[in-house]
Structure 1
Amino acid sequence: MPIALKPGSLKDPEIAALFRTEDPESYFADLREIGHGSFVGFGYSWPRMCSHQKDVIWWEAKWNDIVKEVKFLKNLRHENIVEFKACFLKDHTCWLVMEYCVGSASDILEVHKKPLREQEISAICQQVLHGLRYLHSLGRIHRDVKAGNILLTDSGVVKLADFGSASLVCPAQSFVGTPYWMAPEVILAMDEGRYNDRADVWSLGITCIELAEKKPPFFNMNAMSALYHIAQNDSPSLPVGSWSSDFHDFVDQCLIKDPALRFSTETCLLHPFISSARPASILFDLIQRTKLLVRDLDHFQYRKLRKLIVDDDLCAESASSRSDSYTSTQSLCGAMRSSITSVSSLKKAQRSLVPIVPLADDSTTSPLSRTPPLSGSVDTDTDTDVTPPRPSLTPTAKTASMEMNHEQQQQQQHQHQQQEQQQQLSIVGPRRRKEEILAWRRSRFATIRPTVTIAREQTEYAAENNMHEQMSGYKRMRREHQKELKQLEEKFNSEMDNLKMKLDREYENLLLQFHKEMDKLHVTHRQELDKRLKTNEELERKLRKAIVQQQEVEMKALQMQLKKEYKVNKERLKQELKMENSSKSFVEGNLKTSKQNHLHVQAEAENRLIADHKFYLDFEIRKLKRRRLLHYHQLEQDLIREELGVRGRQLQSAHTLLRRHHELTRDLEMRQLNSLQNLRCQHLQKQHASELQNQQAYMKRVQDELRKKHAMQVKQQPKELKQKELQIRRQFRQAVKTQTRQYKLLQLQLTQDLPKDEQREVVARLKDEQKRKLALLAEQYEGSIGEMMEKQTVQLETWQEEEARQTKDKLNEELELLMAFQSKQRMQMDQHHEREKGRLNEKVSLRLAVLENKMDDEVTQFERERQDRLNQLQTRQNQELDVFDQASIHLGFSLIALSASSSSTSTASGSSSSATAVANKPGVINSASIQDAIHQQPTTDNSFQAVTAHHHHQHLSSSSSSNNNNNNNNNSRNNNNSNNNNSNNNNNQCISPSLHPSASSGKQRYELLEEDYRKKWAIS
């Protein structure tokens, strides 16, 4: 027997067919890392055999998750779903090749720093709904719809990405998705059951709010707190503003908390907000505007860096400029370094398309671009776009002013770069120049994100990885809890199935035992009936033999008696003739006549005796058969009562077993429910502990960041104070210069017409006045410096204290909300457990009531069947006895005599002397010995001894009494009367008073019977 392969084993041909074993680096050139998700790395490269960009993603996730993801992606083919190209397996790393998109909807929000227009949101939602409708038609759920997972191509086609959280089945029950976009039924899936594809519609509604407000609802809260708000509070809505009523209605319909009332993808596509007319190129224009803005931002950063490098000496005049230049140079140099290795347009967290560990965790997407298959050879270049006119929008007014101030410098730098490139190209050969040109063109792929954003993303990735890991750990814990509950339920189902099988087997064995017992009882009864039949035949044979022997003796005695009488008569006749002296011939003639007469009389006597013997033999045999028939009927009644009693005990035993089975099942169900509820409570405690731990970690992180921010502000305060001091100093210097100029002019005016002696005095007086005013100005300067420093210090401290207080209040409020929700969740779980116990008790009570009704029905049916069988037996026996009596009457026997002799079986010992006396009479056969043998057979009372269940004894006794009354009313079937015991002179037959009402005593009954016998059997 072949060994079963483990799930996901590469030895499985179906799994091996998903991966290519070639080296991916042999297929792709210029491979470089362009981004990171929480669990996956992203790279950008060019295929060596074609001129199209590819997005390469390398995995280090769990193998089963990778297999699931590749299977999911490989079977998807839709215009609005990111296209799967190939998957390579190299060492312990998976390389997934997907089509490349220029960015995501969240990237557009980040670049423009403002919400999208309503028509742009409508166009994006329409294509997203087409992709979701395709997924839902396959019975799958995306479960992570958000702006970061909605990618766009150069041509403005919307692509759904990030299927790491997707579900292969619908409905699902996993806790999967990004917290702020998760539907309430997904959050409560482990507590309240399953959810379906309407969860994607909720996420789409949240995405609409995100595109309209730049952030989803509750985004300023901790992820845990956001989950509780979504699950417990009312649905969020689109803020009142410049949005249309159709947009408001569409969002409200998508965010209905009841999934049954929420729109489906088909209904959403028919909504006026989606189906309204709009320009066909609206998304293409959005992409082009975004690309131009990104290009301007990159150029501005480049010019800014260039300015800082070229104008370093000019910037060194003031401490403020030096500080700004130092800070800007540090940040921009870091951006330049990161742009060398990761000049990409991927969005913030590129892990949703193919997440690593686990695939179903929170993730975002990688912006991938639409490209032909790996074997394609279409020659296009993403950097050869037709550049549209320069957009009118700029990031800030400061950006525009900086561009105007440094436009000339930019032109000079651009010319300088062109000259350097031309010099380099002129040195190398044509082939080298071609490779350089291709490498330079390939390095500039289409993007809608600035280089600074990519650099900042890589910096923030390391800082935010702890939060991602925390959320991932929480989701992993929820999935483990769900897995444990599922395993426990499967274990309970297996235990219940095993118990049912055991109980069914025990019940079947009991029924089989009952069946064998009844078969054995039937065999025993059949043997007893057969034995009784054989006994009856033996008794009939013995009786027939005894009567025949006695009749032979009587026949011989008759013949001897006749012979003696003939001899006596012959001698008497001879004497008479001899006395009369008759002649010899006369004597001989008389003797001959006498002999003939004697022979004639003898023949008549013998014939009469033979006829009487035959009638008597038939009568006795008939009496015996009737008596044995009544005994046989009594035996049948005893046996059927015994059978019914056994069946009643069996039925009672079966019912006892069923009640015990019910108790065992009830105990197991109660024990399983208690175990399940205890496990849920443990999971809830762990979940709450984890949530509190995460919330406390979040609060500590926020407070630490706030302290760092305040420390940085305190650290930077001397620089700011120095800058303001320098500004005041400039103002002081300017005031001193102005005052000096004023005094010079005043001195010139005053000394023009004065002689030199007076001029000296005026000049001295003016100098003293100038010194006095300069002293006052210096004092004012020092006071301004002190006031400024004091004001700035107090303002900073007050602002920091207020910010710390507000942050602390906010965090405490979130913690209180979390604890309140946890308390509510515990209360809801307790209520749910009580409802489960109540439902189980109702189920057990209903099952017991059904079982009791079934057992009552079985008992009622058994009693009905028992009564029917007894009635049928009684009817059959009565019919058999009627047939026997009719046959007896037809044969000429007296029914009274047969009934009397049949009912006198209990008085055989008291009538033996009478039988002897009757046997000595002429023509009456003495069969006392045979009668004694017959009468010695055991007789039983005709009253029914019913063996039934304990609660039916009275009913069965009354039924038996009614049967006895019916039997007593039937002629030739009555029991002996107590007066029969007083008759001692019967001829082995006792006539019942009911058959002979005129007979008042045993003597009269005997005389009537003897007279009847004499009439028939007297010998003349």
Structure 2
Amino acid sequence: MPIALKPGSLKDPEIAALFRTEDPESYFADLREIGHGSFVGFGYSWPRMCSHQKDVIWWEAKWNDIVKEVKFLKNLRHENIVEFKACFLKDHTCWLVMEYCVGSASDILEVHKKPLREQEISAICQQVLHGLRYLHSLGRIHRDVKAGNILLTDSGVVKLADFGSASLVCPAQSFVGTPYWMAPEVILAMDEGRYNDRADVWSLGITCIELAEKKPPFFNMNAMSALYHIAQNDSPSLPVGSWSSDFHDFVDQCLIKDPALRFSTETCLLHPFISSARPASILFDLIQRTKLLVRDLDHFQYRKLRKLMYLDEQQSGSSAEVSSLDSEDIDSVDDDLCAESASSRSDSYTSTQSLCGAMRSSITSVSSLKKAQRSLVPIVPLADDSTTSPLSRTPPPSGSVDTDTDTDVTPPRPSLTPTAKTASMEMNHEQQQQQQHQHQQQQQQQQQPSIVGPRRRKEEILAWRRSRFATIRPTVTIAREQTEYAAENNMHEQMSGYKRMRREHQKELKQLEEKFNSEMDNLKMKLDREYENLLLQFHKEMDKLHVTHRQELDKRLKTNEELERKLRKAIVQQQEVEMKALQMQLKKEYKVNKERLKQELKMENSSKSFVEGNLKTSKQNHLHVQAEAENRLLADHKFYLDFEIRKLKRRRLLHYHQLEQDLIREELGVRGRQLQSAHTLLRRHHELTRDLEMRQLNSLQNLRCQHLQKQHASELQNQQAYMKRVQDELRKKHAMQVKQQPKELKQKELQIRRQFRQAVKTQTRQYKLLQLQLTQDLPKDEQREVVARLKDEQKRKLALLAEQYEGSIGEMMEKQTVQLETWQEEEARQTKDKLNEELELLMAFQSKQRMQMDQHHEREKGRLNEKVSLRLAVLENKMDDEVTQFERERQDRLNQLQTRQNQELDVFDQASIHLGFSLIALSASSSSTSTASGSSSSATAVANKPGVINSASIQDAIHQQPTTDNSFQAVTAHHHHQHLSSSSSSKQRYELLEEDYRKNYTL
């Protein structure tokens, strides 16, 4: 027998057909990284494809996730779903080649730093809904719809991406998705049941709020806390602002908590917000604007870095490297224009690393520009080995959570700043930088000469080469993703652990349910075998009883035949003796009569002839009388024989009927006991099944309670770790602020002193001008006095000014210190209140979960009790029906037997009447004989049994045949009279014979 392959094994032809074994680097060149996710890197290569490269960690879960995603993508073909190209498997790295897109909707928000317009959101949602409708028509769920997974092409076509969290079946029951975008039924999937494709509509509604507000609801709190908010609070809504009522209504319909009342994709497409008219090129224009802004931002960062490096090299006295900064790329343009060679890709993967490394090493040597350096995002070099630094692309904020084998967790990165004040200040600072940069660009464009030199042309050519893979992702964003990927991601670890715990819980519950099903199946098989064995035993017992009854009936028939034969033989023998005795007696009487006649004739002295004549006449009379007597005796014997045989047959028929009744009652009694035994067994089976179900339910509920306790402990631990991390970061931030405060105060003090020196210089110039005006018309004697007075006045005012500035410095330092302490205390208090509120919310949610679980358990117990009660009631009804049916069958069989026996007895009696026998005599004889035989049946019971003639039946028989009975009685009386007159001893013998017969042959 062949060994079964492990699920997802490459030895499986179906799995092996999903992957290509060629070297992907021979197909793709000029590989560059454009993004990074939690365990996936994204890059692009020269063919217009996106090489989506994943690390293949040879775990069953991770590998099965990759196989599932490849299977999912390979069967999808839709305009609004990213196109699957191929999948390569090289060493331990999986290269997933897909259609290239310029960026995602979250990238547009990141670049513009402001929400999208309503028509742009409507256009994006319309195409997303078309893609979701296609997925839902195939019975699949995306489960991770968000702005980061909504990609756009150069032409403005929206495409759904990232199917690592998708479900191949609908409905599903796994904890999958990104926390802030997850639907309530997905969060509670393992507790309350399954969910369907309406979960994607909820995520789309959250995405609309994200596109309108730049971030989803609850994004300023911990991801775990967001889950509790979503699960137990009211649905979020679009903030009141400049948005239309159709937009508000669309978001509200998408965010209805009850999935049954929530819009479907078909209904969403018919909503006025989606179906309203809009310019066809609105998304194309948005992409072009974003690309221009990204190019300007990258150019601004590049120029800013060049300026810093130039200042650094000017201070160090060497400008050779600065002059070669641009020449490396620009000088290679000539080679690029001549031919495409390996050395022409100066902006490729490795050259970009070397350039970034040179710039970073130059920047870190400038100690006087640390503040400027902090404003720049550091550029992390890419690893050369693709297996150690896989390429992927997951725009921030990204992540997905999974409790089954769907995908790895990629949690979002919420802001760890306790208040929104710092974030808004940073945003304002970035906007000011952008405005300043745009203003500088306008000034530079106005100052540029109209004649473009060769260097400018080379720069344009180089820019055109770089735009072969135009993207709306700024370099700063890519570098930040690399940095965040390299740094420790505590949230990722928390969500991964939480996902693993939920997956283990689900696995344990599934295993326990399978064990319970196996136990229940085994119990059912055991009970069924026991019941079948009992029925088989009953069947064998009934077969044996039927054989026994048949043997008894056959034995009774043989006994009846033997008794009839013996009775006939005895009566015939007795009648032969009586006939011989009659003949001997008649012969004796003839002799006596003859002698008497001879004597009488002799006394009368009759003649011999007269005597002979009389003797001859007497002999003839004697022969005639003898013949008549023999005939009478023969007739009497025949009647007596027939009567006794008939009487015996009737009596044996009644006994046979009684035996049939006893046997059928015995059979029915056995069947009743069998039915009772079967019902007792069924009740015991019901009790065993009920006990097993109760025991299984208690075990399942105990396991759920254990899982809930572990889950709550893990959630509290994660929340406490999050609170500790936030507080530690806040303390570090405050310590850094305290550490930086003297330097900042010193800078402000120097600034005030510079203002003081400037004010002193200004007053000195003013006094000089005043002195010149006042002394130009006065004599020299008065001039000295005026000059001295002005100098005194100047000294006094300068001293007063110096005192004011010193006071301003002291006041400024005191104010800044107090403000910093107050702000830090306020920030610490707000952070503590916020964290405590989240902790209280978590504890309230856990308490609600426990209460809901208890209620759910009570409902389960109630449903099980109802199920058991209903099953017992059905069983009892079925058993009652069987008992009723058995009683009906019992009565029917008894009635049928009685009817048949009555018919047989009626036929027998009719034949007896036809033969001339008295029915009363036969019935009386049979009844008296049956009573005398010691039968166990009572008079009442016998009267009710079939085959027993009661007084009513006798009267009916008498009324039916009155003439025949009377004539039969007359004939019988005549025969008995003649027989008694002829011989009294014969009567006595007859009576003795009948009495002896009754003694010997009565049953």
TM-score grouping bracket, smaller chain normalisation: 0.7 to 0.9
**What is the CA–CA distance in structure 2 between the aligned matches of 1:306 and 1:164, rounded to whole Å?**
41
CA displacement, residues 614-666 of structure 1 (integer Å, 9 cap, x when unaligned): 21111111111111112112222222222222222222212211221121111
- Compute the displacement of 1:551 (Å): 1.6
CA displacement, residues 146-176 of structure 1 (integer Å, 9 cap, x when unaligned): 1111000001000001111111111111111
**Alpha-carbon spacing, 1:306–1:921, altered in 2? closer, same or farther (3 Å):** closer
- Compute the displacement of 1:181 (Å): 0.8
* Aligned residue number for residue 637 of structure 1: 661
**Structure 1 contact 79–159 (Cα < 8 Å) conserved:** yes
**What is the CA–CA distance in structure 2 between the aligned matches of 1:199 and 1:640, rounded to whole Å?**
70
- Compute the displacement of 1:71 (Å): 0.7
**Structure 2 contact 36–478 (Cα < 8 Å) conserved:** no
- Compute the displacement of 1:336 (Å): 6.2
- Larger CA deviation: 577-586 vs 642-651: 577-586
**Structure 2 contact 30–348 (Cα < 8 Å) conserved:** no
- Compute the displacement of 1:294 (Å): 0.3
- Larger CA deviation: 789-798 vs 593-602: 593-602
- Larger CA deviation: 541-550 vs 3-12: 3-12
- Larger CA deviation: 891-900 vs 265-274: 891-900
**What is the CA–CA distance in structure 1 between the aligned matches of 2:411 and 2:65, rounded to whole Å?**
44
**Structure 1 contact 383–444 (Cα < 8 Å) conserved:** no
- Compute the displacement of 1:539 (Å): 0.8
**Alpha-carbon spacing, 1:350–1:486, altered in 2? closer, same or farther (3 Å):** farther
CA displacement, residues 792-849 of structure 1 (integer Å, 9 cap, x when unaligned): 1111111111111111111111111111111111111111111211222222222222
**What is the CA–CA distance in structure 2 between the aligned matches of 1:727 and 1:314, rounded to whole Å?**
53
CA displacement, residues 179-200 of structure 1 (integer Å, 9 cap, x when unaligned): 1111111111112111111111
- Compute the displacement of 1:684 (Å): 1.0
- Larger CA deviation: 491-500 vs 767-776: 767-776
- Compute the displacement of 1:905 (Å): 2.4
- Compute the displacement of 1:469 (Å): 2.3
**Structure 1 contact 18–70 (Cα < 8 Å) conserved:** yes
**Alpha-carbon spacing, 1:195–1:339, altered in 2? closer, same or farther (3 Å):** farther
**Alpha-carbon spacing, 1:744–1:918, altered in 2? closer, same or farther (3 Å):** closer
Q: Aligned with 2:71: secondary structure? A: helix
**Structure 1 contact 573–591 (Cα < 8 Å) conserved:** yes
- Compute the displacement of 1:419 (Å): 25
**Alpha-carbon spacing, 1:635–1:560, altered in 2? closer, same or farther (3 Å):** same
- Compute the displacement of 1:895 (Å): 1.8
- Compute the displacement of 1:739 (Å): 2.7
**Structure 1 contact 352–363 (Cα < 8 Å) conserved:** no
- Compute the displacement of 1:201 (Å): 0.7
- Compute the displacement of 1:203 (Å): 0.7
* Aligned residue number for residue 700 of structure 1: 724
* Aligned residue number for residue 811 of structure 2: 787
- Compute the displacement of 1:522 (Å): 1.6
**Alpha-carbon spacing, 1:210–1:372, altered in 2? closer, same or farther (3 Å):** closer
* Aligned residue number for residue 422 of structure 1: 445
**Structure 1 contact 103–151 (Cα < 8 Å) conserved:** yes
- Larger CA deviation: 159-168 vs 357-366: 357-366
**Structure 1 contact 292–391 (Cα < 8 Å) conserved:** no
- Compute the displacement of 1:596 (Å): 4.3
- Compute the displacement of 1:210 (Å): 0.7
- Compute the displacement of 1:256 (Å): 1.1
- Larger CA deviation: 131-140 vs 701-710: 701-710
**Alpha-carbon spacing, 1:944–1:647, altered in 2? closer, same or farther (3 Å):** farther
Q: Aligned with 2:44: secondary structure? A: strand
- Larger CA deviation: 816-825 vs 584-593: 584-593
**Structure 2 contact 400–410 (Cα < 8 Å) conserved:** no
Q: Aligned with 1:29: secondary structure? A: coil
**Alpha-carbon spacing, 1:354–1:2, altered in 2? closer, same or farther (3 Å):** farther
Superposed counterparts of 1:74-85, under 5 Å: 74-85=74-85
**What is the CA–CA distance in structure 2 between the aligned matches of 1:922 and 1:259, rounded to whole Å?**
73
**Structure 1 contact 351–365 (Cα < 8 Å) conserved:** no
**What is the CA–CA distance in structure 1 between the aligned matches of 2:610 and 2:982, rounded to whole Å?**
84
**Alpha-carbon spacing, 1:1006–1:237, altered in 2? closer, same or farther (3 Å):** farther
- Compute the displacement of 1:467 (Å): 0.8
- Larger CA deviation: 594-603 vs 626-635: 594-603
Percent of matched pairs sharing the same residue: 99
Confirm whether residue 388 of structure 1 aligns to residue 411 of structure 2: yes
**Structure 2 contact 165–407 (Cα < 8 Å) conserved:** no
**Alpha-carbon spacing, 1:758–1:195, altered in 2? closer, same or farther (3 Å):** same
**Alpha-carbon spacing, 1:226–1:681, altered in 2? closer, same or farther (3 Å):** same
- Compute the displacement of 1:886 (Å): 1.6
**Structure 1 contact 82–159 (Cα < 8 Å) conserved:** yes
Q: Aligned with 2:418: secondary structure? A: coil
**Alpha-carbon spacing, 1:410–1:677, altered in 2? closer, same or farther (3 Å):** closer
- Larger CA deviation: 517-526 vs 155-164: 517-526
- Larger CA deviation: 674-683 vs 125-134: 674-683
Q: How large is the Cα RMSD of the aligned pairs?
A: 13.9
* Aligned residue number for residue 363 of structure 1: 386
**Structure 1 contact 300–399 (Cα < 8 Å) conserved:** no
**Alpha-carbon spacing, 1:100–1:749, altered in 2? closer, same or farther (3 Å):** same
**Alpha-carbon spacing, 1:918–1:781, altered in 2? closer, same or farther (3 Å):** closer
- Compute the displacement of 1:479 (Å): 2.5
**Alpha-carbon spacing, 1:951–1:285, altered in 2? closer, same or farther (3 Å):** farther
CA displacement, residues 688-729 of structure 1 (integer Å, 9 cap, x when unaligned): 111111111111121122122222222222332222122112
**Structure 2 contact 140–170 (Cα < 8 Å) conserved:** yes
Q: Aligned with 1:910: secondary structure? A: coil
**Alpha-carbon spacing, 1:770–1:922, altered in 2? closer, same or farther (3 Å):** closer
- Compute the displacement of 1:790 (Å): 1.7
**What is the CA–CA distance in structure 1 between the aligned matches of 2:656 and 2:19, rounded to whole Å?**
88
- Compute the displacement of 1:356 (Å): 25
- Larger CA deviation: 813-822 vs 492-501: 492-501
- Larger CA deviation: 663-672 vs 106-115: 663-672
**Alpha-carbon spacing, 1:329–1:11, altered in 2? closer, same or farther (3 Å):** closer
**Structure 2 contact 111–474 (Cα < 8 Å) conserved:** yes
**What is the CA–CA distance in structure 2 between the aligned matches of 1:341 and 1:951, rounded to whole Å?**
156
- Larger CA deviation: 803-812 vs 48-57: 48-57
**Alpha-carbon spacing, 1:914–1:790, altered in 2? closer, same or farther (3 Å):** closer
CA displacement, residues 365-412 of structure 1 (integer Å, 9 cap, x when unaligned): 999999999999999999999999999999999999999999999999
- Compute the displacement of 1:771 (Å): 4.5
- Compute the displacement of 1:853 (Å): 2.3
Q: Aligned with 1:904: secondary structure? A: helix
**What is the CA–CA distance in structure 1 between the aligned matches of 2:432 and 2:492, rounded to whole Å?**
44
**Alpha-carbon spacing, 1:470–1:913, altered in 2? closer, same or farther (3 Å):** closer
- Larger CA deviation: 711-720 vs 355-364: 355-364
**What is the CA–CA distance in structure 2 between the aligned matches of 1:232 and 1:351, rounded to whole Å?**
41
Superposed counterparts of 1:489-638, under 5 Å: 489-571=513-595, 594-638=618-662
**What is the CA–CA distance in structure 2 between the aligned matches of 1:135 and 1:950, rounded to whole Å?**
114
- Larger CA deviation: 339-348 vs 600-609: 339-348
**Alpha-carbon spacing, 1:437–1:915, altered in 2? closer, same or farther (3 Å):** closer
- Compute the displacement of 1:117 (Å): 0.6
CA displacement, residues 927-949 of structure 1 (integer Å, 9 cap, x when unaligned): 99999999999999999999999
**What is the CA–CA distance in structure 1 between the aligned matches of 2:230 and 2:401, rounded to whole Å?**
48
**Alpha-carbon spacing, 1:959–1:561, altered in 2? closer, same or farther (3 Å):** closer
TM-score of the pair, normalised by structure 1: 0.76
**Alpha-carbon spacing, 1:791–1:918, altered in 2? closer, same or farther (3 Å):** closer
* Aligned residue number for residue 1006 of structure 1: 990
**Alpha-carbon spacing, 1:21–1:858, altered in 2? closer, same or farther (3 Å):** same
- Compute the displacement of 1:6 (Å): 2.1
TM-score of the pair, normalised by structure 2: 0.77
**Structure 2 contact 379–479 (Cα < 8 Å) conserved:** no
CA displacement, residues 448-499 of structure 1 (integer Å, 9 cap, x when unaligned): 0211121112112334622122112212322322222222222222222222
- Compute the displacement of 1:133 (Å): 0.3
* Aligned residue number for residue 99 of structure 1: 99
**Alpha-carbon spacing, 1:81–1:677, altered in 2? closer, same or farther (3 Å):** same
**What is the CA–CA distance in structure 1 between the aligned matches of 2:975 and 2:835, rounded to whole Å?**
74
- Larger CA deviation: 794-803 vs 913-922: 913-922
**What is the CA–CA distance in structure 2 between the aligned matches of 1:956 and 1:250, rounded to whole Å?**
126
**Structure 2 contact 39–55 (Cα < 8 Å) conserved:** no
- Compute the displacement of 1:741 (Å): 2.2
Q: Aligned with 1:350: secondary structure? A: helix
* Aligned residue number for residue 966 of structure 1: none
- Larger CA deviation: 231-240 vs 483-492: 483-492
**Alpha-carbon spacing, 1:275–1:950, altered in 2? closer, same or farther (3 Å):** farther
**What is the CA–CA distance in structure 2 between the aligned matches of 1:950 and 1:747, rounded to whole Å?**
195
**Structure 1 contact 182–202 (Cα < 8 Å) conserved:** yes
- Compute the displacement of 1:544 (Å): 1.0
**Alpha-carbon spacing, 1:311–1:581, altered in 2? closer, same or farther (3 Å):** closer
**Structure 1 contact 34–341 (Cα < 8 Å) conserved:** no
CA displacement, residues 896-938 of structure 1 (integer Å, 9 cap, x when unaligned): 2212222232687999999999999999999999999999999
- Larger CA deviation: 898-907 vs 393-402: 393-402
Superposed counterparts of 1:220-239, under 5 Å: 220-239=220-239
The gaps in structure 1 that reach 5 residues or longer are 963-1002
